Amino acid sequence: MPIAYLLVGLTGSGKTTYATRVLEPAGVVRLSVDERVFARHGRYGVDYPEHTYFEREAPVVAEVRAETVALLSAGRDVVVDYGLWRRSERDDWRALAEQAGAEVRLLYFPVGRDELLRRLTARNRETHANALPVTAEALDAFHARFDVPVGEGEQVVAAGSEWVRDRAAEFTALRGRRIVAWTGLEEALTEDGFRFEDPAVPCLQLAVLIAAFGDGTTIEVRTYQDEDLSGLLLSADTGNPYRSNPGIRERPLPELPTGVLSDVGTVLDQGQLAEVLLDVGGQPLLLVAGEVDLDGPRFVRLGACVLAFTDPATATTLEWSSPR
């Protein structure tokens, strides 16, 4: 029996992130109303007046409904990437999917107002299809129209839950492997002269950290982006895509410890994989998703670089943009 995933949540609650990172890689077909409206009409409130959104949305919703039925009838799993704020909408979509022979899973993404506002404030500066400009007043109006799902068989999806836990498990799975060398794509601390060292910075700032293992394989530590936050991620070694960037230099990192990776600890913060603490050959290595801001000096937590500390204790003495 095919599955219809109905995503429920306000703008910025993480529906699209979950659909693209968890469901699509599993073979589920994603149908997005917002992305189709954007492709045809441009940005909400920028390329057309806000009050005309629903008349532009209506034919797209009808089109997505028809495609949902066709896909489910053909035995394909589908995720409807659409807010479904009202109980009546959810009941209607549930009936549609069930009539097409599908099992319905209602996934609810609860996120508090302050966190939504923080995410949306950052996303308002972006220009992609899912970056609808939303003010604090508009968010309050959205909340007033939103029916919280209760007793609908809903499954609650906590921020970053499944996908981020899987990323943490990938680091944990490295236990017992022997690291023989490190290489880094080191990112400059300043754009003025591309300075890479500073006495106030007790860590390396890396775009990518590459571990070479005793069996001849390599793996990269880099970051992913989720809304305006970043977290740590393992990926296959893809080489150096930054060769023409003078602000990034590739070099061996003999200052980092080598040996058997005997222990791995992970820290989640704000739904992201914020830190990984490695015990390599009996020596600690702390990796933090962050960035260095020398104007402080200040250290940005959940930033887009990998910060590598050979003395984890020094990380506790720094000024961070949010508490560790």
Residue 212 sits in which domain range? 165-315
| Position 321 in a domain | no
Token pair belonging to 51:
């009050």
Number of domains in the chain: 2
Residues 153, 204, single domain; the answer is no
Residues 191, 270, single domain; the answer is yes
Q: What is the pLDDT of residues 260-295, one digit of tens each?
A: 999 998 988 877 899 999 999 999 999 999 999 877
Residues 95, 79, single domain; the answer is yes
Residues 117, 175, single domain; the answer is no
Residues 149, 287, single domain; the answer is no
The β-bridge partners of 234 are 221
| Position 320 in a domain | no
At which of 159, 194, 217 does a domain end? 159
Q: What is the pLDDT of residues 237-261, one digit of tens each?
A: 666 666 667 788 999 999 999 999 9
Q: What is the pLDDT of residues 81-106, one digit of tens each?
A: 988 989 999 999 999 999 999 999 99
At which of 159, 182, 211 does a domain end? 159
Residues 206, 135, single domain; the answer is no
Using 50, 70 and 90 to split pLDDT, how confident is the model at 217? very high
Residues 193, 285, single domain; the answer is yes
Is the pLDDT at 41 greater than 90? The verdict is no
What pLDDT does 256 receive? 98
The arithmetic mean of pLDDT across residues 179-190, rounded, is 91
The CA distance from 228 to 121, in Å, is: 9
Pair 230, 303: CB distance under 8 Å? yes
pTM score, whole prediction: 0.58
Residues 284, 230, single domain; the answer is yes
Residues 20, 95, single domain; the answer is yes
At which of 159, 192, 217 does a domain end? 159
Over pLDDT 90: what percentage of the chain? 47
Domain at 58, CATH number: 3.40.50.300
Residues 152, 18, single domain; the answer is yes
What pLDDT does 129 receive? 45
Residues 146, 250, single domain; the answer is no
Residue identified by tokens 């506002």 is 117
